[in-house]
Amino acid sequence: MIRLAVFASGRGTNFENILESRLPGIEIVLLVTDSICNALEIARTHDVPSKTFLRKNYASKEEMEQDMVTEIEKFHIDFIVLAGYMRLLSPPFVNRYPKRIINIHPSLLPLYKGKEAIRQAFEAGKKLYGVSVHYVNEGMDEGEVIAQVKISYDGEDLQELEQLVHQAEYALYPKVIAQVCNRGGRL
C-alpha cells in the first residue's frame, strides 16, 4: 500500500476529490496544512490524521520544514501531493524528495505560474486554458510536467471558466496520482 501525504492550504476540494476517488493501492494517511482551513474539517470527516504548521510559530522556514520532515517520516510517507498548498517549499525540502512531490496547477504550464492563474489567462484573452500536473522542484510551478488537459472556452464568465478548470482538475489529478504512485518507491 502506497502511503500518501496531502498538503493543502484552503477549501480542500482537491483533497476531498482525491479521498473520494478511493485510489486502489493508495492510502491517504496524513493531511498537512499551513493554515487553519476547511481541508482540516474534510480530514476529520474522513478520519485522516492532520497536522498544521503555522509559519508564525517557528523562528525560520527551515525549522518549520524540519518539523514537517519529522512528521512525514513518522507516517512513513511514500509520496507528497500538493492540493492547493499555497506555500513554496524550500530547495532543501524539495531536494530531499526528488520526484516524490507532485502538484496540480490551473494553467497549461509553463504559462501563468503562481497565484490567480485562471484569472491571468482569462484577462489575457486566451481561448485555450488547462490544467497541469507536475513534479515539484525548486522553482514555482517549474517542475517537469507529467500530464496536461486542455480546455477550450470562448465565454465571458470567469466563474464559469473556473468551474470548468476545477472539473478538469478533479478528473485528471487522481489518475495522475495513481500513475505516479504505482511506479513505486518509498521516500
> What's the pLDDT at 118?
96
Known catalytic membership, residue 134? no
User: Has residue 24 been placed in a domain?
Assistant: yes
> What's the pLDDT at 183?
79
Residue with cell 500500500: 1
pTM: 0.93
- Amino acid identity at 68: M
Catalytic residue among 46, 76, 105, 134: 105
Domain interval for residue 118: 2-181
The CATH number given to whatever domain includes residue 177 is 3.40.50.170
User: Has residue 114 been placed in a domain?
Assistant: yes
User: Has residue 56 been placed in a domain?
Assistant: yes
> What's the pLDDT at 184?
55
Q: How long a stretch of residues is the chain?
A: 187
- Strand 128-135, strand 101-105: pairing: antiparallel
CB neighbours of residue 34 within 10 Å: 18
User: Has residue 186 been placed in a domain?
Assistant: no
User: Has residue 16 been placed in a domain?
Assistant: yes
User: Has residue 187 been placed in a domain?
Assistant: no
pLDDT means per 10 residues, the chain with 187 residues, are 96 96 96 97 98 97 97 97 95 96 97 94 92 96 96 94 97 96 61
Number of folded domains that form the chain: 1
